[in-house]
Amino acid sequence: MSTVTILLLAAAAGYGIAKYLRLPGVPLLVLAGVALTVFGAIPDEELHYQVLLLGLAFLVFVVGTELNPRRVGRHGKVVLLVGLAQFFTLGAVGLAIALGLGFELVVSLYLALAVTASSTLVVVTLLRQRQQFFEPFGRVTLGVLLLQDVLVIFFISSLSRAGEGLGASMMALGGTVLLFGLAVVFLRWVTPWLLLHLKLDEETVLLTVLSILFIFVGLAYLMGLPPVTGAFLAGFSLSAFPVQGIIRGQLTSLADFFLAVFFVALGAALTIPTARELLLVGLLAMVVLTLTPPLVAWVAQQVGLNTRASIESGLLLAQCSEFSIVVALIGVAQGHIDEGKMAVIVLMTVVTMILTPFVATDRNTWRLMRLVPSSRMEPESSRLHQGHVILIGFGTNARKMAERLQKENQTVVVVDDDPGIVARAREMGLEAVRGDGASGEVLARAGASRARLVISTMRRVADNETLLRRLGGVPVYTLIFDPGDARRLRTLGAVPVLYSEAAAEDFRQWYEEAGPGSDGHRERPAGAQS
């Protein structure tokens, strides 16, 4: 028990430092485990290994619960092409680097697989913290993560039996397909029935969830598949809304406990890499950090995602996955790679995870957008509008309002940061200004100070706050999801309108029937409270 106690103390220290520094917890937990190795504080190696296996099952289980395919929405084509492009391009580059440094083919395949996917835990955490879960780039990244994780699971299943010949690998793939099909059945029918219709109490819900985990892990074992395959698919079977919301409260504390102990135990299992291995860490991490953003952004733009969302997706996906660690552990367990190569994969994962919050920022997004030729600032408009309506953001709702205003022969100026959207607005016969809707220079080019009304569909509250501070005296309507955000914006003079998928149509109907007058104020629809 002293081993478990030591791991728990190290986990507490790692979490505390991560919270204080506002960094992802996973890298700090791994570093805490490394510190234990340095001081020789792990007395029971066998128990240490069992903790690794147990924590690994919970790790992939929790990852699976976050990946509901319905969150992708209408971005399925973007997700498919971006996910496949990132997976196979990074895999090919990683394989070439490993082979170029003289590593054997099997070892190189494991190293290549380790750079193909991005971290679900890191990305989901950042999207929640920034309230960007349902923005277009948030939906795209979640879909890409699901696709990549499924691909990694299939490769892991095949590699785990590669030593038994081609037939065994094909059998493993077939078994994974069957288990995946069972997970889809559970996702669609079984888990909603168990957790929604039976009206179980909290303790029974937790026992039911754990039973599903054990069923899938047991089936994976009987099929000769790695237990992580069953654990991930068990989590996937519980990912549907509202099932995932019901189980989150039940699993959070338990999952945090096992995940913390797992990552500390993983750090304690690492060996000191050689100079050649450190060079490999640097090269592979550099590939992930520098190749992922432009690759993802370019592919996403080619299939219709706007410039800003494409760049944001690329920056957010520029790290290695927790599944990279799974790949390393399975490679060591199968005898395909040694502990030095496992250290390479873990260090590469830790480094890229730590850097993600500093890479995926609004500032970096705008820096990259300035490099896009069509995104550079346009010359100031010569038109001096008076009493016009400005639409900041030109999504579906804004386009409907613009069409209505055009029929009424009212002047509309569109402001959007995406060149493709600006081009579409101009095709509709609207004047459009390219730039950030919260920028003073852009607002001046749109004649915001002389506008009759400004309607903002910018989702970031900070952008709307900046807009309001710049436009004192001009009526500003803001479409907002969160009631707390609505209260914040009201204090700055906005007329906030809460909307969601269901309320968007109510807002359009309200605008058409009782549109804002010269003072920009009308009674809001009942569904648009603030």
Question: DSSP string of 478-500?
Answer: EEES-HHHHHHHHHTT-EEEE--
Query: Are 142 and 78 spatial neighbours (Cβ–Cβ below 8 Å)?
Result: no
pTM to 2 decimal places: 0.80
Distance, in Å, from the CA atom of 17 to the CA atom of 47, rounded to the nearest integer, reads: 26
Q: Which pLDDT score, from 0 to 100, does residue 371 have?
A: 79
pLDDT digits (tens, 9 = 90+) for 513-524: 545 544 444 444
Longest dimension (CA), the chain: 79
Is the confidence at residue 225, as pLDDT, over 80?
A: yes
Distance, in Å, from the CA atom of 496 to the CA atom of 258, rounded to the nearest integer, reads: 42
Is the confidence at residue 95, as pLDDT, over 90?
A: yes
Residue 317 is classified by DSSP as T
Closest CA to 406 of 389, 382, 385: 389
Distance, in Å, from the CA atom of 227 to the CA atom of 234, rounded to the nearest integer, reads: 11
Is the confidence at residue 235, as pLDDT, over 90?
A: yes
Secondary structure, 3-state, 374-409: HHCCCCCCCCCCCCCEEEECCCHHHHHHHHHHHHCC
Looking at domain 2-160+253-369, does it have CATH number 1.10.10.10?
no
pLDDT digits (tens, 9 = 90+) for 280-329: 999 999 999 999 999 999 999 888 787 778 899 999 999 999 899 889 98
Is the confidence at residue 60, as pLDDT, over 70?
A: yes
Query: Are 507 and 483 spatial neighbours (Cβ–Cβ below 8 Å)?
Result: no
Q: Which pLDDT score, from 0 to 100, does residue 383 have?
A: 58
Q: Which pLDDT score, from 0 to 100, does residue 16 have?
A: 84
Query: Are 346 and 323 spatial neighbours (Cβ–Cβ below 8 Å)?
Result: no
Partners of 416 in beta bridges: 434
**What rounded mean pLDDT belongs to the chain?**
85
Query: Are 273 and 347 spatial neighbours (Cβ–Cβ below 8 Å)?
Result: yes
What number of other Cβ atoms are within 10 A of residue 199's Cβ? 8
pLDDT class for 503, splitting at 50, 70, 90?
A: very low
Average pLDDT estimate for 118-147: 88
Average pLDDT estimate for 157-182: 90
Q: Which pLDDT score, from 0 to 100, does residue 509 have?
A: 55
Alpha-carbon distance values, 440 to 80, 257, 449 (Å): 38, 48, 10
Distance, in Å, from the CA atom of 33 to the CA atom of 13, rounded to the nearest integer, reads: 10
Distance, in Å, from the CA atom of 346 to the CA atom of 363, rounded to the nearest integer, reads: 29
Q: Which pLDDT score, from 0 to 100, does residue 64 have?
A: 93
Q: What residues does each domain of the chain span?
A: 2-160+253-369, 384-514
Q: Which pLDDT score, from 0 to 100, does residue 358 have?
A: 92
Distance, in Å, from the CA atom of 343 to the CA atom of 277, rounded to the nearest integer, reads: 8
Average pLDDT estimate for 403-424: 86
Secondary structure, 3-state, 37-67: HHCCCCCCHHHHHHHHHHHHHHHHHHHHHCC
User: Which of the two residues, 1 and 279, has the higher pLDDT score?
Assistant: 279
Average pLDDT estimate for 481-509: 71
Distance, in Å, from the CA atom of 204 to the CA atom of 332, rounded to the nearest integer, reads: 37
Average pLDDT estimate for 369-378: 60
User: Which of the two residues, 222 and 51, has the higher pLDDT score?
Assistant: 222
Helix (H) or strand (E) holding 158: helix 136-159
CATH ID of 384-514, from 3.40.50.720, 1.10.540.10, 1.10.340.30, 2.40.50.140: 3.40.50.720
Query: Number of helices (H) and strands (E), helices first, in the chain?
Result: 23, 6
Is the backbone peptide bond immediately before 242 cis, with ω within 30 degrees of 0?
Answer: yes
Residue position matching structure tokens 């038994």: 164
User: Which of the two residues, 67 and 47, has the higher pLDDT score?
Assistant: 67
Highest-confidence segment of 211-215, 254-258, 368-372: 211-215
Is the confidence at residue 382, as pLDDT, over 70?
A: no
Which range, of 15-29, 79-93, 176-190, 404-418, averages the lowest pLDDT? 15-29
Q: Which pLDDT score, from 0 to 100, does residue 418 have?
A: 75
Which range, of 156-170, 301-315, 413-427, 516-530, averages the lowest pLDDT? 516-530
Which range, of 29-43, 356-370, 408-422, averages the lowest pLDDT? 29-43
Partners of 346 in beta bridges: none
Query: Are 307 and 419 spatial neighbours (Cβ–Cβ below 8 Å)?
Result: yes
pLDDT digits (tens, 9 = 90+) for 435-449: 778 888 888 889 998
Q: Which pLDDT score, from 0 to 100, does residue 529 have?
A: 39
Average pLDDT estimate for 397-409: 87
pLDDT class for 1, splitting at 50, 70, 90?
A: low
Closest CA to 356 of 64, 43, 22, 70: 22
Q: What percent of the chain clears pLDDT 90, i.e. is strictly above it?
A: 37
Partners of 479 in beta bridges: 497
The CA-CA-CA angle for residues 276, 280, 284, to 5°, reads 175
